[in-house]
Structure 1
Amino acid sequence: MQGNQTIFLVIQHADLQTQKEYLPVIEKAVQDNKTFPANLALLKDRMALREGKKQIYGSQIFIDSNTGKKYVQPLQNPEGVDKLRAEVGLPSMETYLQQSFQMDWNLKEYYKNLPEIEKLLEERKSAK
């Protein structure tokens, strides 16, 4: 599995076209128990955001370069995200954000900050 994990990380950080090309390979590897379902979830989140869609599993965080404030990038189903995460072997949003980013997960706060997050992401996209 270690070799597959290395290959996954290369694909996860590649450009969108490469990710699209290798998505079926990662899906097959999950079916064959050669990589973790969580890897596929992370890849799908990253690809969705790059395609201008909302992420499914809440794995992608945005850091405002002006304030240093951290945000969860837009989610398709914020209320059901923990159930979806559990299905692929990912910890709850609360655990993930606390351990990885020293952030708290609060659904009310997420919704309150969502317009600001979307505005910041749009500004970042326009600046490129």
Structure 2
Amino acid sequence: MKYITTFSILFLIGCTTKQKITNIEREKIIAELDYIKNIDQEYAGIPSESFKMKYGKEKAWKIYEFKRDSIGNDNQKRIKALFAKYGYLGFKEVGKENSSKFWLPIQHADNEVEFQKKMLKELKKQIKYNNAFKSEYAMLEDRVAINSNQKQRFGSQVSYNENGQAIPRNGLIDSINIEKLRAEYGLPPFKEYYNNMTQMHFEMNKEILLKKGITAPQLYK
């Protein structure tokens, strides 16, 4: 009995290494996650037309990318601090919407692949307990694969061919079963997703593509 009691105590200590979240702390954490998500999305796309007119296209991109990288680094520091104190912030800790805000800067931490790998392992654990979105695990796994110069399992990361058509960046591990795998992890159908990305790319680069004689998005059938 003494052995069992000692083991139980050690087990409990091991399971409570992260600080428990109080209601007051939860409000502060959510406010922090709101800030992280909002500033991330502010620089997640491309410079606005007014921004390009103000600085010129080339300079606008340089300023925009510098700001985006700076924000990304700051967000990573904030996420690391939250993780060190509370562990992975999943559904049970902060709710589904706020858990996605915690995941977002991890997904964008392309300059720290080892950090992404660490979080991927942690996210895999959370999936087993239904404490995170399977789709976010899939997208982070693909991101790590791309940043490690490997093929993807889920095809969530795209690049574009010379005709402006979205294609899986670095290729797919298993193209035959891609639709089944994506459905299992809560991702939209492959063709639907890639056609949406192709259409968006066409609209954003219409002027360049028209000069190449491409007058419509090159969609998958």
TM-score (norm 2): 0.43
1:17-46, Cα deviation, whole Å (9 max, x unpaired): 110111122112212222110110001111
What is the CA distance between 1:63 and its match in structure 2?
A: 3.6
* Aligned mates of 2:99, 2:125 — CA distance in 1: 12
After TM superposition, the structure 1 = structure 2 runs for residues 56-95 of structure 1, keeping only pairs within 5 Å, are 56-63=153-160, 69=164, 70-73=166-169, 74-95=171-192
Greater RCO structure (CA 8 Å; 6+ sep): 1
What is the CA distance between 1:68 and its match in structure 2?
A: 7.2
* Percent of matched pairs sharing the same residue: 31
Secondary structure of the 1:75 match is: coil
What amino acid does structure 1 have at the position aligned with 2:168?
V
Secondary structure of the 1:62 match is: strand
Asked if 2 retains the 8 angstrom alpha-carbon contact of 1:16 and 1:50, the reply is: yes
* Aligned mates of 2:197, 2:99 — CA distance in 1: 23
1:71-95, Cα deviation, whole Å (9 max, x unpaired): 2221111111111101111121011
**Among 95, 98, 105, the residue aligned to 1:10:** 105
Asked if 1 retains the 8 angstrom alpha-carbon contact of 2:138 and 2:154, the reply is: yes
| 5+ residue gaps, structure 2 | 1-95, 200-217
TM-score (norm 1): 0.72
| 5+ residue gaps, structure 1 | 107-128
Q: Which residue of 1 aligns with 2:148?
A: 51
* Aligned mates of 2:182, 2:196 — CA distance in 1: 15
